[in-house]
Amino acid sequence: MVPLSWYIVLSALMFSIGVFGFLSRRNLIIIFISIELMLNSVNISLVAFSHYLQSMRGQILVFFVITVAAAEAAIGLAILIAFYRNNPTIKVDEINLLKG
Amino acid sequence: MLKYILIPLLPLLSFIINILFGRNFIKDKAHWIAVPAVAGSFILAVSAFMDVQAGNVINVNIYNWIVSGNFNVTIGFLIDQLTAIMLIVVTSISTLIFIYSIGYMHGDGGYYRFFSYLSLFVFSMLMLVMANNFLLLYFGWEAVGLCSYFLIGFWFHKKSAADAGKKAFIVNRFGDFGFGLGVILVYLTFGSLDYLKIFSNTGIVLGQTINIFGNDIDLITLICLMLFCGAIGKSAQIPLHVWLPDAMEGPTPVSALIHAATMVTAGVFMVARCNPLFSLSHTAMNTVAVVGGVTAIFAATIALVQNDIKRVIAYSTVSQLGYMFLALGVGAYSAGIFHLYTHAYFKALLFLGSGSVIHALHNEQNMQNMGGLKKYMPITYGVFILATLSITGIPPFAGFFSKDEILWRAYSGGELGKFLWLLATVAALLTAFYSWRLIFLTFHGRFRGTHEQEHHLHESPRVITVPLMLLAIGAVAAGWVGIPPLLMEHGDKIGEFLAPVLGHPHGEGSHAEEMMVMGMSILVAAAGWFIAYQMYVKKTDLPMKVGAMFQPLYKLLYNKYYVDELYSRIFVQPVLKLSDKVILGFFDAKIIEGVVNGVPNLIGAFSNKFRKIQTGLLSNYGLVMAIGALAIIGYIIFMR
Amino acid sequence: MENIILNQLSYPILSWTVFLPVIGALFLLFMRNATLIRWTTLLVTAATLVISLPLLTTFDKGTYKMQFVEKHGWIPSWGINYFVGIDGISVLFVFLTTLLSILCVLVSWKAIETKVKEFHIAILTLEAGMLGVFVALDFFLFYIFWEAMLIPMFLLIGVWGGPQRVYAAIKFFLYTLVGSVFMLVGIVVLYFIGGNTLDILALSAVQYPVKLQFWLFLAFFSAFAVKVPMFPVHTWLPDAHTEAPTAGSVILAGVLIKMGAYGFLRFSMPMFPDATKFFMKPMLILSVIAIIYGALVCLAQKDLKRLIAYSSVSHMGFVTLGIFALNSQGLEGGILQMLNHGVITGALFLMIGIIYERTHTRAIADYGGFAGLVPWFAGLFMVLTLASIGLPGTNGFIGEFLILFGAFKAQKIYGVLAATGVILGAGYMLWLYQRIFWEKPNPDWTSGPHPVWDLNLREIAALVPLVALIFWIGFYPDTFLSYMHSSVEHLLENINKRAYAGQENLTARTIMEIF
């Protein structure tokens, strides 16, 4: 039986990798993947707690997260493609339309 | 008695018809509407006069004009002895002036406009004299001011005319400022604006005071002085006389109307109308008398050296109005009104006569360019002589009787009265001098104008000379209704007629003194003639020498004591400068707008600093989020 | 309810009056032809006037109560009702609004060439908003109308205005909005203090603590003073007037700025009687400053529209002076002068718009000698000038005289100072008249490429009703004054009875304690 803490550590590691990827990479696709990584790390911890606490709530929440992640990926990629058509780049440091 | 409402309404109707249809339909037939209207008013006025003489004083309220809370003013008319006389004066002279204008204004582009304004003028003046309360009086009061504005500025393409019209209105507004406040104060004091209610209830103000800036001022004195402010403006007394000479910019019939029948007599009429109030305050009475006396001599001195024929007559009007106020101020109300009435005829005559001269000379007004006109214009010359005899006070012409009564009543009016009598007598000397100077310069000697003018010299047409001759009858005979009891028992018919309204005390003093006053007035009149004759007929180089000898004085008089310049310097320019540079240029644009635009600008400046935070780079936002998340986690773990 | 009279007519007259323009605006959405749009708008505004006329004819002048009242539940859980009605104070403004709206359509006939549909929709919604403000008796409803009215006005200035229109529009909007926000706070406070209701009549009957009155008065004052506009928050007015299209200027001068004074009468005075008495003197002082200040600025103005705008500041100073004289003459004079000012200044802006169409210049120096060129125009302008300077026989005199009388009765010095404004008024208006109409004409207008032409029938039709009103009120003001007697008496009674009723006096010292 794998103890809960292992799952937590795995989840934390995955989340940190996601965060690192999100902050350090320039490619938008990679950034999206990093976000997915973070979301899934959360999912892992949710499922782990769900099993540990013998409650289905965590797993229900996981389904929500997966749905939202799918929607987010779809919309995000759509925006990305729309943007790419106007400016042929997907490097985030060249995208600063929101500059104040 | 409602038919008498038509007296003002007929001219009003003429105004409305002419102003609406004159331009496109009536055009040069405007007099066919205006003259019958004013003549109709005259006939009704005579009928009203007869009615009043038979003892019927008419006082009717037509409808409630303004009602608010306990404030209530009606539109209503009062025709008593005073009003009846005024009605006769106004309508008779206006009728003649209207007829005269047919000839004088013939061919003018604004012919219809001229007659509509004249009609409105007469309407306003009739409303003024027929009102039975102060507010309706105020209505007429402002309306005559308005009409004078229209008519003085009649030839509006000339800047000087436009300026003069505006000046007349605004200077009058200064007087009306006091008058209007006076009316309000009257209402607050008496609870009514109706003459008869107020005059029957004057007792309640005795001893009442009003506190102004910590000083207790006698209420009735304050009321009277405020009302008198209006009279000063309207009747062109010092210090608000400045508009009247400039009013010469209007066509000559207008000058005659303003100076003789309407407008300037309003002030005299109003003070006479309010005599029950004025009689209660010595201070106010003395003020009236002194202002009158000083104005009489002040204006006369200016008239001595003016060269514009109408200007001389204008200053003589100011001076004669001074006489009237002098009379009112010493309590001789009926003498004041009597002089108003005789003055109306001879002054109208002088103006219309000068108009005839100006007409003949194609708008030449400078007397230095006239001379020798008597052989070209015998009728004008004749009526001019009659008017001058009347104004200088030679018996038995009209002016003699009214002026004599004023002088006598002043003489018998205590020490102040004696002083004022002296002023008035000197003024009479000056009056005689400048009046004869005018005659000699205009009609005697040789013609000094251009050949072009000389070639066209002619007597004016019948439509002009007939009104002149009719007025001449008035200038000669108008005074015969007021022969002093000294000369004829019950000769002072006008005084007795007015007695129910104005009272009729006669001056105190011996017959010898009265004879002396009378003799003096005739003497100075003759002396004035003599000096003028010497200077302008016998030794024509004398005026130049005298002028050179008293150069500064001459300049002072010629420039009218620099009053216009003074007012411009201390009132007009500073106010304009204040409003332009300080109020608009600095306060409004800099301070208020500074705050109004400053606050948003300040906020804008702050925002400009803060917006730098928004780099637009995703990774920056992500980093901040991460740090924020860490901070929250740290807070939860370590701080709790 | 004892203080309202329900609508006795067979149809909801006030709702029809307010919402007919909205219905008209909806119809306009489906139209394309500009001429059709103009005629439809004209018809709708005319119909609104016709519908509103029974308000005047069947009005019961003998009572102060709200009449033609309609009351329906709207959001009951918050105590919000659809509640409308008019009394002697508001009835005349409903009339003024419906009248001026027609004239605005008439005067925009040729002047507006772009976005015709949107323009007329804006005019109609604006009319509805203004009418709503005057008839609303529920704060929620009132505030909606109060703010809603800003939007079409903002658009009118910002879209169809002059060269500086965007600046002017934003300035106008923000200025008024800042004031209104304080009022909103005040309304919320009233809701909780006054017993969870937004019923204006019910809130007017509540006795508020004196210190609270002080603050609430200030909150409402900030909204109304900007609208009036009182010195020193008047600077939006000249910009808005100058840049607005003619119709906008007419509405602004005619109706919009009356709402400030109306607000004082409807809210500040009955709700906060103690504060009203306490603030009487400062208000009188501000009014006198506005009168003289506005007049002095007019003397220095070189822009035609700005001059009339500043003259509005001066004239509205008279209105607030009369209102805060707190006696029947002052109040009635103030209310009448609001109507008068709407008529006179509305007409003045109409005329300036008309002449601007011909000359395309607002600089006074470009004019001169117009009396000879456009005599009918000059004549009518003279009538307006005279009414503006308060010549007896015109409506301006009745209003100004009553106001001066009231002010003099209340505090002599303010009456005297305000009367100097009458002299200055004559000065700047006559000078303006001289510079435009007298002296030598500028050759451009006589022989140059831009000859000017006199009034046409449409323009005369727009001006004649106003000129008729000027003389009507001037000679027989009773027609209009009689509407307000009962309401004004009731208002005064209310103030005098309730002020200082059993509470500590609102004096300088108690105010100091608040801080």
pLDDT tens column, C276-333: 888 888 899 999 999 999 999 998 888 889 999 999 999 999 999 999 998 889 999 9
- Chains touching B (3+ CB pairs < 8 Å): A, C
Residues of B in contact with C329 (CB under 8 A): 68-69, 71
Chains C and B touch (3+ CB pairs under 8 A): yes
pLDDT over 80 at C448, yes or no? no
Q: What is the ipTM of this complex?
A: 0.90
Cβ of residue B228 closer than 8 Å to a chain C Cβ: no
State yes or no: pLDDT of C24 exceeds 50: yes
Gap from A66 CA to chain B (nearest CA, Å): 21
Contacts of B24 in chain C (CB under 8 A): none
Beta bridge partners of B218: B209
Neighbours of chain A (3+ CB pairs under 8 A): B
Residue reference for tokens 């007394």: B237
Are B622 and A23 an interchain contact pair (Cβ–Cβ within 8 Å)?
A: yes
pLDDT band, residue C510 (cuts 50/70/90): low
Nearest to B181 among C369, C371, C415 (CB): C415
CB contact under 8 A, C300 and B584: yes
Q: How many CB atoms lie under 10 A from the CB of residue A81?
A: 10
Residues of B in contact with A22 (CB under 8 A): 619, 622
Per residue in B256-282, is it b (16+ CB within 10 Å) or e — as a string? bbbbbbbbbbbbbbbbbbbbbbbbbbe
Q: Nearest-CA neighbor of B432 among B294, B307, B303, B561?
A: B303
- Collapsed DSSP state (helix, strand, coil) of residue C303: strand
**Cα–Cα distance, B503 to C374 (Å, whole number):** 53
| H or E element, residue B604 | helix B593-610
> What pLDDT score does B510 carry?
76
Nearest alpha carbon to residue B8 among B38, B33, B29: B38
Q: Distance between CA atoms of C249 and C237, rounded to whole angstroms?
A: 10
Q: What are the tens digits of pLDDT across the range B296-352?
A: 999 998 888 888 888 888 899 899 999 899 988 888 888 888 899 899 998 999 999
Do residue A93 and residue B613 have CB atoms under 8 angstroms apart?
A: no
Residue A85 burial by CB count (10 A; 0-12/13-18/19+): exposed, middle or buried?
exposed
Q: Does B623 touch chain A (CB under 8 A)?
A: yes
CA distance A56 to chain B (A): 26
Backbone conformation region of residue C480, classed left if phi is above 0, alpha if psi is from -120 to 50, else beta: alpha
Task: Name the residue among A23, A96, A97 with its Cβ closest to that of B626.
Answer: A23
Question: What is the rounded CA–CA span in Å between residue B546 and residue B532?
Answer: 13
Helix (H, G, I), strand (E, B) or coil at C85: strand
State residue B453's pLDDT score: 77
- Full-model pTM: 0.88
Minimal Cα–Cα distance from A49 to chain B, Å? 19
Tell me the pLDDT tens digit for each residue of C145-178: 999 888 999 999 989 988 888 999 998 998 888 8
- The closest CB to that of B180, out of C419, C439, C489, belongs to C419
* Percentage of chain C exceeding pLDDT 70: 96
Q: Which two tokens stand for residue B176?
A: 């009306």
Inter-chain touch C405–B578, beta carbons under 8 Å: no
Tokens at B139, concatenated:
């209505």
pLDDT score, position A39: 93
From the list C325, A70, A52, the residue with the least C-alpha distance to B69 is C325
Amino acid at C234: H
Q: Which residues of A touch B (CB under 8 A)?
A: 19, 22-24, 31, 92-93, 95-100
Q: Which residues of B touch A98 (CB under 8 A)?
A: 614, 616
**CA-atom Rg of chain A in angstroms:** 17
Q: Is the pLDDT of residue C472 over 90?
A: yes
> What's the pLDDT tens digit per position in C382-440?
999 999 998 898 999 999 999 999 998 888 888 889 999 888 898 899 999 998 888 88
Task: Report chain B (640 residues): mean pLDDT per 10 consecutive residues.
Answer: 85 91 82 90 92 87 87 90 90 91 85 90 92 91 89 87 88 89 89 88 79 78 90 88 85 86 86 89 89 91 87 89 90 88 90 88 83 84 90 86 87 84 90 90 83 80 87 86 78 81 73 84 89 83 80 83 84 84 82 84 89 81 88 88
What the block records as the tokens of C513 is 């304690």
pLDDT at C95 over 60: yes
Nearest chain A residue to B613, by CA: A100
Query: Which neighbouring-strand residues pair with B59?
Result: B78
pLDDT band at C375 (very low <50, low <70, confident <90, very high): confident
Asked whether the beta carbons of C491 and C498 are under 8 A apart, the reply is no
Where exactly are the structural domains of chain A? 4-93
Q: What is the DSSP letter of B208?
A: -
The answer to whether the Cβ–Cβ distance between A96 and B611 falls below 8 Å is no
CA distance C120 to C108: 9
What CA dihedral angle connects B620, B624, B629 and B635, to 10 degrees?
160
Å between A92 CA and nearest CA of chain B: 6
CA-closest candidate to residue C252, choices C157, C183, C330? C157
- CA-CA distance, B365 to B381, in Å (whole number)? 16
Asked whether the beta carbons of residue C426 and residue B169 sit closer than 8 angstroms, the reply is yes
CA B545 to chain centre: 36
Q: What is the dihedral of CA B394, B396, B398, B402, to 10 degrees?
A: 80
- Candidate from B170, B578, B580 with C-beta closest to C430: B170
Other C-beta atoms closer than 10 Å to the C-beta of C504 total 13
The amino acid occupying position B570 is: I
In chain B, whose CA is at the least distance from the CA of C231? Answer: B592
The CA-based angle B7-B13-B16, given to 5 degrees, is 145
Residues 552-611 of B with CB under 8 A from A: 610-611
Looking at CATH, the fold of the domain delimited by A4-93 is given as: Helix Hairpins (1.10.287)
Please name every residue paired with B98 in a beta bridge, in sequence order, or none if there are none.
none
Nearest chain B CA: its distance from A24 CA (Å): 7
pLDDT of residue C502: 44
Do the Cβ atoms of B417 and B350 come closer than 8 Å?
no
Chains A and C, touching by 3 or more CB pairs within 8 angstroms: no
- pLDDT of C462 reads 87
Q: What is the pLDDT of residues A1-40, one digit of tens each?
A: 788 899 999 999 999 999 999 888 888 888 889 999 999 9
CB B587 within 8 Å of CB B596: no
Distance, CA of C340 to CA of A79 (rounded, Å): 61
Q: Give how far C293 is from chain B: nearest CA, Å.
A: 7
For residue B16, give the H/E element and its range. Answer: helix B6-21
DSSP helix/strand/coil, B79: strand
Task: Please report the pLDDT score of residue B415 as a whole number.
Answer: 83
The residue of A93, A94, A95, A97 whose CB has the most chain B CBs within 10 angstroms, and thus the best one to mutate to test that interface, is: A93
Cβ contact, residue pair B68, C232, below 8 Å: no
Q: What is the pLDDT of residues C474-506, one digit of tens each?
A: 999 988 999 888 889 988 888 888 766 544 555
pLDDT tens-digit map of A37-70:
999 999 999 999 999 999 898 899 999 999 999 9
CB B425 within 8 A of CB B323: no
SS3 breakdown of chain B: % helix, strand, coil, rounded to 5?
Answer: 75, 5, 15
- Cβ distance B162 to C328 less than 8 Å, yes or no, reads no
Q: What is the share, in percent, of chain C residues with pLDDT greater than 90? A: 37
Q: If we measure between CA atoms, which residue out of C247, C481, C208 comes closest to residue C350? A: C247
Residue from B336, B350, B348, B443 nearest B389 by CA: B350
- Find, among B333, B232, B221, the residue nearest to B277 by Cα: B221
> What whole-number distance in Å separates Cα of residue B114 and Cα of residue B103?
13
Nearest by Cα to A20 from A10, A29, A30: A30
Closest CB to A92: pick one of B614, B617, B626: B617
Average pLDDT over residues C354-380: 86
Beta-carbon separation of C422 and B177 below 8 A: yes
For C136-233, where are the alpha helices, taking DSSP H only?
139-148, 150-160, 165-193, 200-204, 210-227
- Give A28→chain B minimum CA distance, Å: 10
Of B617, B623, B626, the CB nearest to A93: B617
pLDDT at residue C55 is higher than 60: yes
Could you tell me what percentage of chain C is helix, strand and coil, using 3-state DSSP and rounding each to the nearest 5? 75, 5, 20
pLDDT of residue C503: 47
Q: Identify the pLDDT of residue C513.
A: 55
Question: Which pLDDT value is given to residue C506?
Answer: 53
Distance from the Cα of C206 to chain B's closest Cα (Å) equals 27
**Which residue does chain A place closest to B621, by CA atoms?**
A23
Torsion of CA B538, B541, B544, B550, to 10 degrees: -70
β-partners of residue B72 are B67
Distance CA C169, CA B105 (A): 53
The answer to whether the peptide bond before residue C232 is cis (omega within 30 degrees of 0) is yes
Q: Is B139–C439 a contact, with Cβ atoms under 8 angstroms apart?
A: no
CA gap B566, B559 in Å, rounded: 11
